[in-house]
Amino acid sequence: MKLHEVKVLGRERFGDHALLRYRWSGVAHEPGQFVMVRALSSPTLDPFLSRPLFVHDYDGEVVSLLFEVRGRGTARLAREDAGLLVSTPLGRGFVFDGKEPVALVGGGVWVSPLKFLSRALNTSGIAHDIYLEVPATASTAYADWLSKSYPHAVLIPTDGSLNSPKTVLSHLGDFSRYAAICASGPSEMLARVKEVSTVPAQLALRERMACANGSCYGCAVPLWREGARIYTRACIEGPVFGAEEVVDVQKSGD
């Protein structure tokens, strides 16, 4: 898997979340694909592994990555100025047949691939609505950034409880008015979309990844295909899968 050195064009920090931008002139990205990224300035191999991050946005020239700062790797990325080492584009993203309208559903930091997806749908002239949960644990800075980054989205404050009347799915109401659902959120949200959706749905799963080239099988996901339970690699065959084939979203890593 080839590594590309890219220059950081800009970075932002809002609470526990960060955004990086870099110029990209290689193979075009598709919504739902991801990047393996690490800081160029890292003097050692600690942390040893790159971080898998969804492409948040891509305009044909500049890629942006949205992520939550959780550990040493993402903390280093959030303050990186020297540059990045990236392997990209990776994986299989969202697939469309042109039917509309489409509902985009997300929550927390897991909204990351929906910005690029919305851009692609706009380019294709496909009508769509965006529904985003803003968890009570989110910082005010991140909530404000979401409202500015997704100006046409319906933002739903939530306490994270599936039984709460204020959830993104309660605003969707009757799924039948949409031709398809595209969801990227915490595992509980994805499981609920799988359970209640009456129209075709695609789920962007977040799996822990090591190699991202299919060698280690560390990101294996159980699926139903042709009546049999199989395991497939999220880094190659995913990370976006049809909801009907995912065995158990709760087994997927956030």
Binding residues, as ranges, are: 73-74, 211, 216, 219, 235
CA angle 172, 177, 181 (to 5 degrees): 60
- C-alpha distances in Å from residue 80, one per residue of 16, 17, 70, 71: 15, 14, 15, 14
| Binding residue positions for FAD | 73-74
Q: For residue 186, give Cα distances in angstroms to 160, 182, 235, 249, 252.
A: 10, 13, 18, 9, 10
Tally the C-alpha atoms within 13 A of residue 244's C-alpha that lie toward its C-beta: 10
- The number of beta carbons lying within 10 Å of the beta carbon of residue 181 is 24
Q: Which two tokens stand for residue 180?
A: 């398809």
User: Are residues 201 and 122 in contact, defined by beta-carbon separation less than 8 angstroms?
Assistant: no
Count other C-beta atoms under 10 Å from residue 46's C-beta.
Answer: 9
Please report, in range form, the residues annotated as the binding site for [2Fe-2S] cluster. 211, 216, 219, 235
